[in-house]
Amino acid sequence: MKRVFRLLVAVIMASGVAGCTSLSYYAKSLEGHVEIMAARRNVGRLIQDPATPEALRSKLRSADAIRRYATDALALPDNSSYRSYVDIGREAVTWAVFAAPQFSLTPRTWCFPVFGCVPYRGYFDRKEAVEKAEDLHKEGLDVHVTGVTAYSTLGWSSDPLLSTMLGPDDTFLASLIFHELAHQRLYVNGDSAFNEAFAVAVETSGVRKWLRASGNLAGLRRYEADRRRRADFLGLLATTRQELQQVYQSSRTPEQMAAAKAATIETLRTRYRLMRDRRWAGYRGYDGWFKAPINNAKLAATAVYGEQVPAFLRLFDLCAGDYPRFYAAVRKIADLPGPNRAGALAAARSCD
C-alpha cells in the first residue's frame, strides 16, 4: 500500500507544473485508487469465510483458479494482483472520456508521468467524466464517455479483483484477468493501440487455451462465435472509418462535410442491422452500441482496441503458441521506434 501511495504522490508532484487543474485531477485519481486499495479483502480468506455468500464464493473460486492458470499456462506475472477482492458497489470502476475533432478520426491524447500518452482521460466519478466531456464538446470536439470494468496499474500496485469483473460467466472473468495481466507483462509508453491489441491477443489466445484445458467445449464454441461477431463488428467500423477519412480529406465545405458524415454513420447503422438479421441470425448483443450516438471519438476509441489484434494473433501462431517466445518477439518489436512498430508487426514472418 505504501508503495502505491509513493508512486501516485510522485505522479501528482510531477504533474503539478501543469497547473491547479492537473493537480486536482491527480489528487482525485489518487483518492479513488486509494479508496479501492483500502477495501481489499484476501480472496482465499473470503472463500473460507462462512459469511461469504455462496454465489460470490463460487465466483472467487473460479477467479482463484483462473489467476493460477494465468501464471502457470500463459507465463503472466506471478504477483499479488487479482488475489484480493473489492465490491465497489457501482456499475463501473472508472469512466473514460474520449475526444476527437469534428472532422478527424485522430483522437485527442493526454500525457501522464509513468504511463505516457493515452487517447482518453479516466475518472473514478461518472459526474466528473460527463462534465469533462461537456467541456470538450464546447470546444467543438466529438466526445464519447464509456464505463470501464477493470484497470491496471501495470504492476505498480496489487490490482484487486473488482465486483465489476464478475460478469455473467467465467469466460468474461478470465478474459479480464488475462487482459489486465498482459499489460503488466508488456507496456509501451505512449502507444495505446499497440498495448491494447497485444493485451487483447493474450486475452483471446489465453481464453481459448483455458477453455480447452477445462474441457468446456460448449463454452469454447460460444466464445468463438462471439469472436467472429466481434471481428464482423470491427470490420464494419473499419470500413466506416475509411469512408469518413475520404470525406474529411475532400474539398467539401464544413456544411457538406457534416452532412456526408451523418449519412456515412447512418449507412453504418443500416449495414449493422442487415448483418445482425442475416449473418448473425438476429443476435442483438451490439444493439446498444448502435442505438447510442456514434461520432469520431467513439469510432476512434474502438479502433484502439481492435486494429492490430489479427497481426498479434498471427505472430502468436508463428511462435507456435509458446507464450515466452511470443512475449520475447513482441518485446523486440516494442523496442523499435514508434512509427515502425505497426509495420514490423504486420510484416513479421517468423517468431525470431
The confidence band for 67, taking pLDDT boundaries of 50, 70 and 90, is very high
What distances in angstroms separate CA 131 from CA 36, 68, 102, 118, 126, one per listed residue? Answer: 23, 40, 19, 19, 9
Phi, psi of 121 (to 5 degrees): -130, 125
- Write the pLDDT tens digit of every residue in 315-340: 999 999 999 999 999 999 999 999 99
- Write the pLDDT tens digit of every residue in 231-275: 999 999 999 999 999 999 999 999 999 999 999 999 999 999 999
User: Angle of helix 309-318 relative to helix 338-347, nearest 10 degrees?
Assistant: 60
> Which pLDDT belongs to residue 21?
52
Element (H, E) at 317: helix 309-318
> Which pLDDT belongs to residue 54?
96
The confidence band for 345, taking pLDDT boundaries of 50, 70 and 90, is very high
Min mean pLDDT across 25-29, 53-57, 103-107 is at 25-29
Q: Is 268 within 8 Å of 237 (Cβ atoms)? A: yes
**Residue carrying C-alpha cell 509513468:** 114
The confidence band for 28, taking pLDDT boundaries of 50, 70 and 90, is confident
What is the distance between the alpha carbons of residues 20 and 38, in angstroms, rounded to a whole number? 26
- Write the pLDDT tens digit of every residue in 288-299: 999 999 999 999
The confidence band for 168, taking pLDDT boundaries of 50, 70 and 90, is confident
The confidence band for 25, taking pLDDT boundaries of 50, 70 and 90, is confident
Nearest one of 195, 177, 227 to 338, comparing CA atoms: 195
The confidence band for 14, taking pLDDT boundaries of 50, 70 and 90, is very low
Nearest one of 146, 180, 145, 140 to 162, comparing CA atoms: 180
- Write the pLDDT tens digit of every residue in 134-147: 999 999 999 999 99
**In the numeric block, which cell numbers belong to residue 73?**
499456462
pTM (2 d.p.) = 0.90
The confidence band for 182, taking pLDDT boundaries of 50, 70 and 90, is very high
In this predicted structure, the answer to whether residue 3 has a pLDDT above a threshold of 80 is: no
Element (H, E) at 86: strand 84-86
Q: What integer is the mean pLDDT of 119-128?
A: 92
> Which pLDDT belongs to residue 9?
38
**In the numeric block, which cell numbers belong to residue 302?**
474502438
What is the distance between the alpha carbons of residues 123 and 132, in angstroms, rounded to a whole number? 9
In this predicted structure, the answer to whether residue 19 has a pLDDT above a threshold of 70 is: no
